[in-house]
Amino acid sequence: MRAAGMRRPSFGPITDSPAGRGERWFSRPQIIRVTFVWNVSQVTVATYVPGGTGHKGTVCLCLFVSNARPGRAAALPRAATLSRVRVILLRAPGYWLARTPLKGFPITRSVVLAPTTLAWITRLIACDTTSRNSNQELIDVIDAELRGQGLEPVLVPNSDGTKANLVVTIPAHDGSTTGGVMLAGHTDVVPVDGQSWSSDPFIAEVRENRLYGRGAADMKAFSGVILALLPEFLARPLAMPLHLAWTYDEEVGCHGAITLLADLAARGIRPDICVVGEPTSMRAVSAHKSSHLYRVSFTGLASHSSNTPNGVNAIEYAARAIAFIRSIADEHRVNGPFDASFEVPYTTINVGTISGGAAVNMVAERCDFEFEFRAIPGVSTAAIFSRIEDFLLGELRTAMRAEHATADVSFAPIGAVPALSAAGTGAALQLVHDLTGTSSEETVGYGTEGGLFQLAGIDTVVCGPGSIRQGHTANEYIDLAQISACEDFMRALARHLAHQH
């Protein structure tokens, strides 16, 4: 289908803008038929016609593809005159796709993605790796790709074989496999339960220059870029090895990273530097808080609510425990210690889940809750734990058993993530600064596997595409510009690793 007054030319070149700021514009009007657009649901094909002084021109919408499939396309000609238009370009073999929201605003930059990046991210998002599920499907996909590239990945399963880490080393040109740089990412994602999504969370969609899907920001885009740009590393003789690591169960306690590190130690592999690709908007994060998760279980004695003295109410004792835990949180909020480099500059404690009781007319026999505390570096987490433990297993247990000898309370850790300290991020931080061309150094309140890697003697920094503000949310997304920035980072790393050869 042709727009009125336009003939169908060949697909012309893209030229730098007169402004000379790295922007790219189409050089002339185009009409293009697209028969396959990866696995995204909505793509607008457009061209920009420069208009001289002031760079005013016309954006001609040539094609609108909805739920694109091989062999299916539809044309919808429209035109709009704008003063400036931001255009994001998705490159694929044989054609260019330009996306624009059709609103006038200043151009910042164009984004040209590698041919397979979106396809890889889409494929990874399609694997439902919610932490309660197995991650084996995704691991098998990565394993097959790496073996197809001539590499020999190692799988490190969990205790029951339902999940696995994957680690692979691209040796240096002299065959060495120790030292070098490790890129680390987790495969699991948080649940979508109870969230209201505008699209299927496990089918990636590109809308308004953003890629939507569970794990898009946290953190499958990072993994997708690695896989898409793997040939960049394999095409060069490396002066030092590159290690790629994917873990399970990061979202529920970083259990996979512990077994991964044990495997690396057993095989005599210890990278010098690790970059954890959690979403930081491609800025270097040198420190984060520790995270400690606990489950508390109360066992009371059931009875009819008309005769409460015959029972022991587990919910009421749990409420006393929660109030005590909150009092410790309040102490840290008011009295510190403080670290002004963090957005929340003190240690926090949060009770996140609770369940108990069977009916409103029964004294509750059971109550369980889970809580976590996130401590700034330098705070004694053992002291916090000891205070809570003494109260639960001392004062509360004594009071419960005074009501009935069988009543009890138990207190167990379910996960811990050590803090990442800025004191130990010298070489890693410098590397990220060199690769990104920035000098920023930030801290974050959330935990990562970086603290574990640092404790193992690997100089570690956190840097990855996307924003943590989009992670874990309904309609989680990552800006395409962030994916492009991550590609730039990977290409710079490939050059760096080969530089000394």
Rounded to whole angstroms, how far apart are CA atoms 477 and 279? 11
The DSSP call for residue 424 is G
First to last CA, the chain: 53
Residue carrying structure tokens 């059709």: 102
Say which of 188, 278, 479, 487 is annotated catalytic. 188
Rounded to whole angstroms, how far apart are CA atoms 315 and 330? 22
* Contact status, residue 261 vs residue 167, Cβ threshold 8 Å: no
Alpha carbon 320 to its chain's center: 36
Catalytic annotation present for 188: yes
β-partners of residue 49 are: 58
| The two three-digit tokens of residue 361, written as one number | 């007319």
* Contact status, residue 168 vs residue 271, Cβ threshold 8 Å: no
Rounded to whole angstroms, how far apart are CA atoms 441 and 375? 19
Cis peptide bond prior to 29, omega within 30° of 0: no
| The two three-digit tokens of residue 463, written as one number | 């840097």
Rounded to whole angstroms, how far apart are CA atoms 370 and 191? 17
Strand boundaries in 219-347, DSSP class E: 242-247, 273-276, 285-288, 290-299, 303-304
| Amino acid (one-letter) located at 3 | A
Strands 181-186 and 273-276: parallel
Say which of 218, 250, 459, 487 is annotated catalytic. 250
Rounded to whole angstroms, how far apart are CA atoms 24 and 244? 33
Three-state DSSP class for 483?
Answer: helix
Catalytic annotation present for 208: no
Rounded to whole angstroms, how far apart are CA atoms 57 and 496? 41
Rounded to whole angstroms, how far apart are CA atoms 233 and 418? 31
Q: Which helix (H) or strand (E) element contains residue 154?
A: strand 154-157
To 5 degrees, how large is the angle CA 313–CA 314–CA 316? 70
Is the Cα dihedral 483, 484, 489, 492 positive or negative? positive
What helix, strand, coil percent values describe the chain, rounded to 5? 30, 30, 45
Alpha carbon 17 to its chain's center: 34
| The two three-digit tokens of residue 408, written as one number | 């009890």
The residues assigned a catalytic role are 188, 250
